[in-house]
Structure 1
Amino acid sequence: MTYRGEMTEPLGARIRRLRTDRGWTQRELAEPGYDRGFLAKVETGSRPPSEEMLAYLARRLSLTVDELRFGRPPGIAEELRAALDEGYRDLEQGRVAAAEERFATVAQQAAGYRLDDVECYARFCRAEVKWQLFDVSGAQKELEHASELEGAAPPWLRAMIVHRWSGCRYLSGDAGTAIARVESALSSSELDPDAELCLLSALIHPLMEMGGLHRAERAAHDGVRLTRVATRPDFVARFHRQASQVWQAIGQPERAEQDLIEACRLFASVGFDRDAARCRWARGYLLRRLGRLAEARAELTAARDQLAAIGSEEGVAGATVELAEVRLRQGASAEAASLVSEVWPLLARDVEALGEATGLRGQIAQAEGDLEKATRLLREAAEIQTRASLHGAAVSTALRLGDVLRQRGHVAEAIEAYRRGLDSAAGTEG
């Protein structure tokens, strides 16, 4: 992919080229504001043009000052943004290599043309490649690189950088920092409805996992108001997907399911296949919670296959662990164990999924009658979840651990496990 423009071309040579391209003499370009001799010195580089002269020449050439100063072809910023949008759709549809190449090319072009807002967007897109490949630390580094130019970025892009950065911190086990960064961004006076909706979406899941149900519910209700005025369908879809967790938690499963169906529709309408598949994963989780296991299995299998087809390793890991839990509940413990083993190497990158999968292996061991192994794995899962401040998950794991210990006749240890569960519950709001 190439674009017109010699980014290393000296300014004087550029003025001369633009003049001769139009078939003008030096006098025709310079007059009436300046004389031919002065323009000749500018073109040879012996005299730099003043800001006033640069503005005058830009008007004569029907360019903006920055187009003339940096050699930008007219409309190049819009062209580069469109290339990034197209690359993002490539990424969402699994064409990772093509997307990565496009993002790198646009980043280089934008840097040469001093288009900081476009370069920031390109850097963010490069972070999205890392996110797609489940390279959490790599994604965070790219996002910090993008943040260097966020002052030139539009509000929606600044919000998405924060959204993804906080997601990286959360997956690394630092939920407190993730929440603090989003809440700080929400206090900005420069937000528009899209940016605010994006940040509220980023806030909901970490709050839910840390036990902040009341705060998450406030964020969800604030987001519902913003969906009426937001302009980006992908941001509205992302919010619906996140808000569904709140509706589940407060006993509104029908609303949760409708939100997930709408999110999937909106993502599909803009060609975001990866995110549409993640909605199916989320719906499978909901169906499992509602006891609709056959439907959950079908939805999670479809989500996992779609995520695998587009190279979303993080999505494959999460959907597979959830599918394994469904199969365990259906009595297929051997298949559940096999599914967890398939994605185990991926889980170290996501502390939440690692804790969930470790606890699930404990449940599988319990179902197979190996209570000693179940005890060890459930303790390990509880430690992972407690360190990461995942209070809701830690409560559930502690209760399962207590039940296993009681089943083994270790009553005192069971009571201690239940007590730890209560301590984790005390760290929640809801």
Structure 2
Amino acid sequence: MTYRGEMTEPLGARIRRLRAERGWTQRELAEPGYDRGFLAKVETGSRPPSEEMLAYLARRLGLTVDDLRFGRPPGVADELRASLDEGYRDLEQGRVALAEERFALAGKQAADYRLGDVECYARFCLAEVKWQLFDVSGAQKALEHASERADAAPPWLRAMIVHRWSGCRYLSGDAGTAIARVEEALASPELDPDAELCLLSALIHPLMEMGGLHRAQRAALSGVRLTRVATRPDFVARFHRQASQVWQATGQSARAEQDLIEACRLFASVGFDRDAARCRWARGYLLRRLGRLDEARAELTSARDQLAAIGAEEGVAGATLELAEVRLRQGAPAEAASLVSEVWPLLARDVESLGEATGLLGQVAQSRDDLPEATRLLREAAEIQTRASLHGAAVSTSLRLGDVLRQRGHLDEAIQAYQRGLDSAAGTDS
């Protein structure tokens, strides 16, 4: 989508061009509010128009004042938003380079036309490119760049910027800051149902991983009420995906699976292939927890392949680690270790996945009766998880570490590991 070079056109020349395009004389445009001579000086640039005259001329030309002032073609804001929406679908379907090019062009045009809300949206979309490529620090910087235009943005977009920014902080091992930022945004009086639902969705996973089950449950129950009035299907779908974690933790497995199926359906209905594949990843995790390992393997393999096809590296890492856990449980430790190795270069960007992968390799070593190596890896995993305040994961890892140490006859160290697990459990509210 391209436009003529009106953005650099002097205001007077723009008025003259628009008048000529309509076949009007200077007198026909100027009268009855102003005389022809004054308009002639405005058109040549020798006299700037007052705000009152600018409003009068805009009205006569059938434009808004800002459309006239900044040389905006009629409908350009809607066209740019539609272009960004289309680019976002390109991104969700793996056409990353095309999407990034579209976002950059729309952002430049929005800046030239002084369309602050559209420019903010374009900057957010560019941050989504970084997110898709698992460039966590790059995504956070791009989101902060988008925040500079957030005052002009609609509530849903401001909420989504906070959602993603908090996700970056969480992946960087700063879950406390991630949660605090979302809770601060939830206190805003300007929220609409879509924005509130978006923010509640952002809270659930960090709260769950920090052991805040009761707080996560409150967020989920509030979100259920909002799904009845929210207007964005992608926000409703994202909430269903996150809320499924709460239903799993509270023994409502059937409800959790139904939420994931509905989320996948909604994402697919708007062409969001990346997010639909992430729902399959989440369902694979649930199936693994339920002991339905063959189904879990099939779902996770499909999710991983779909995410790889569209270049969603964060999703590839997560689905692959979950698949490795399934294969370990199915008695294939060598394949589990190989799967972890495939995504190891990605894991430094995500503290949660790094801790999970390290602990998983510890389990592989334990299955091979290499207890010293299992001890080393499980200790390292527990350290990662404790530093990141991932209390639930740290409890499980510490208990497994204690069992390995007890198996080796290191009873004092085993007791210390169990105590560490108890200390981590004390950091939860479940």
Q: TM-score when scaled to structure 2?
A: 1.00
Structure 2: runs of 5+ lacking an equivalent: none
Matching of residue 349 in structure 1 with residue 373 in structure 2: no
Q: Give deviations 1:126-156, integer Å, cap 9, x for gaps.
A: 0000000000000000000000010000000
| 2-structure distance, mates of 1:231, 1:27 | 49
Asked if the contact 1:5–1:73 (Cα under 8 Å) also holds between the matched residues in 2, the reply is no
Matching of residue 44 in structure 1 with residue 48 in structure 2: no
| 1-structure distance, mates of 2:330, 2:146 | 46
| 2-structure distance, mates of 1:20, 1:224 | 57
- What is aligned with 2:205? 205
| 2-structure distance, mates of 1:284, 1:146 | 34
Q: Give deviations 1:300-343, integer Å, cap 9, x for gaps.
A: 00000000000000000000000000000000000000000000
- What is aligned with 1:273? 273
Letter of the aligned partner of 2:100 in structure 1? E
Task: Give the RMSD, CA atoms, in angstroms.
Answer: 0.5
Q: Give deviations 1:80-118, integer Å, cap 9, x for gaps.
A: 000000000000000000000000000000000000000
- What is aligned with 2:142? 142
- What is aligned with 1:104? 104
| 2-structure distance, mates of 1:310, 1:267 | 15
Secondary structure of 1:37's partner? helix
- What is aligned with 2:397? 397
- What is aligned with 2:12? 12
CA apart distance, 1:5: 4.7
Letter of the aligned partner of 1:378 in structure 2? L
| 1-structure distance, mates of 2:408, 2:298 | 36
| 2-structure distance, mates of 1:213, 1:80 | 41
CA apart distance, 1:25: 1.0
CA apart distance, 1:79: 0.3
Secondary structure of 1:180's partner? helix
| 1-structure distance, mates of 2:266, 2:175 | 28
- What is aligned with 2:322? 322
Question: Superposed, which structure 2 residues align to 1:24-423 within 5 Å?
Answer: 24-423=24-423
CA apart distance, 1:364: 0.3
Letter of the aligned partner of 1:307 in structure 2? L
Runs of 4 or more, structure 1, over 3 Å off, are none
CA apart distance, 1:290: 0.4
Q: TM-score when scaled to structure 1?
A: 1.00
Secondary structure of 1:395's partner? helix
Letter of the aligned partner of 2:407 in structure 1? Q
Q: Give deviations 1:52-102, integer Å, cap 9, x for gaps.
A: 100110011111111100000110000000000000000000000000000
Asked if the contact 1:104–1:126 (Cα under 8 Å) also holds between the matched residues in 2, the reply is yes
Q: Give deviations 1:227-273, integer Å, cap 9, x for gaps.
A: 00000000000000000000000110000000000000000000000
- What is aligned with 1:429? 429
| 2-structure distance, mates of 1:29, 1:318 | 63
Letter of the aligned partner of 2:106 in structure 1? V
CA apart distance, 1:367: 0.4
How many residues matched?
A: 430
Matching of residue 3 in structure 1 with residue 3 in structure 2: yes
| 2-structure distance, mates of 1:357, 1:253 | 25
Secondary structure of 2:24's partner? coil
Asked if the contact 1:91–1:99 (Cα under 8 Å) also holds between the matched residues in 2, the reply is yes
Secondary structure of 2:47's partner? coil
Give the fraction of aligned pairs with identical amino acids, expressed as a percent: 89
Secondary structure of 2:414's partner? helix
CA apart distance, 1:200: 0.1
| 2-structure distance, mates of 1:40, 1:177 | 59
Secondary structure of 2:34's partner? coil
Secondary structure of 1:47's partner? coil
Asked if the contact 1:5–1:72 (Cα under 8 Å) also holds between the matched residues in 2, the reply is no
Letter of the aligned partner of 1:284 in structure 2? G
Secondary structure of 2:7's partner? coil
CA apart distance, 1:3: 2.3
| 2-structure distance, mates of 1:269, 1:426 | 43
Secondary structure of 1:7's partner? helix
CA apart distance, 1:4: 3.7
| 1-structure distance, mates of 2:257, 2:140 | 31
